[in-house]
Amino acid sequence: MALILCVETTSTNCSVALACDTKLGQSNLFHVKYCLDVLEDNSDSYSHGERLHVFIDTILKRNNFTVKDLDAIAVSEGPGSYTGLRIGVSSVKGMCYALEIPMIAISTLESLSLQNTSETETTIAMLDARRMEVYAAVFQNGNLIEAPRAVILEEDSFTSFRNSGKVTFIGTGVKKFEDLIQESTHLYIRSNPTALTLCDLAITKHKKSDTVDVAYFEPFYLKEFKGG
């Protein structure tokens, strides 16, 4: 049995989950196969530094595990909140180093795209950045076809996909795009990233030994941090 702790801190949602490859988890909204349990709280205060380790301790205890039972830890690598990324990645690196277990990095936008359970072929995952900017990636039938990039939203953004059929837009950047284009043709899902959808991706990467170097790994910020 492989037991993996999954950590998601790239948005206001502080979220942790336990993934297990023996399919002990129950079916859920996002059709995740390998999630044993999830614990999360979404607050605008961004108090991840206070909550994350408490959540980790709580989810392990209520499933009768300790950190010594973990085979790996997966973290949402970004893009997303600069502060949230620093907290999540730093915490996971410290735990992996101390426990001498592998670290798995998972694209935040790929994980976010898995919340789309509709039958639309195209999913555009977008995280809110400043003003009319988002971090976005495009997926078709679960495959990445446009890599994560910063996008200034305009009325003609993603036109080729919008003209080709119904698109599912999902994430924290959806509302401002929906208000901008005002097209009822598409599906708009306003949602935060969650550790729940990290679980299956983490198990898949663990089976392939697809891990990162704990010492040298850095979050995927996509853009340089600017204060103010």
pLDDT digits (tens, 9 = 90+) for 11-61: 999 999 999 998 655 556 688 899 999 999 987 766 788 899 999 999 999
15-24, 63-72, 96-105, 160-169: the lowest-pLDDT one: 15-24
Q: Are strands 103-106 and 72-76 parallel, antiparallel or unpaired?
A: parallel
pLDDT tens-digit map of 99-154 = 999 999 999 999 999 999 998 999 999 999 989 999 999 999 999 999 999 999 99
| Lookup result for tokens 């003209």 | 163
212 secondary structure, DSSP code: B
Q: Which two tokens stand for residue 215?
A: 């010492």
171-197 burial code (b ≥16 CB/10 A, e <16): bbbbeebeeebeeeebbbbebbbbbbb
Whether the ω angle into residue 102 lies within 30 degrees of 0, i.e. cis, is no
* The token pair that represents 55 in the structure block: 């959540």
Which pLDDT score is estimated for 49? 82
Lookup result for tokens 């990324």: 85
Q: Which two tokens stand for residue 81?
A: 């909140």
Q: What are the structural domains of the chain?
A: 3-107+193-207 (3.30.420.40), 116-190 (3.30.420.40)
Q: What is the pLDDT of residue 227?
A: 44
| Stated length of the chain | 228
Supply the mean pLDDT for the chain.
Answer: 93
Backbone angles phi, psi at 38, to 5 degrees: -140, 145
Q: Which of 5, 105, 101 is nearest to 57 (CA)?
A: 5
Q: Sorting pLDDT into bands at 50, 70 and 90, what band is 228?
A: very low
Structure tokens at 68: 């010594």
Q: pTM for the full model?
A: 0.94
Q: For the chain, first and last CA: distance in Å?
A: 46
Torsion of CA 106, 110, 114, 115, to 10 degrees: 100
Per-residue model confidence (pLDDT) at position 47 = 76
Give the list of residues 6+ apart from residue 16 with CB closer than 8 angstroms, or none: 5, 6, 7, 8, 38, 39, 40, 52, 55, 56, 59, 195
d(CA 219, CA 130): 19
**pLDDT for res 1:** 87
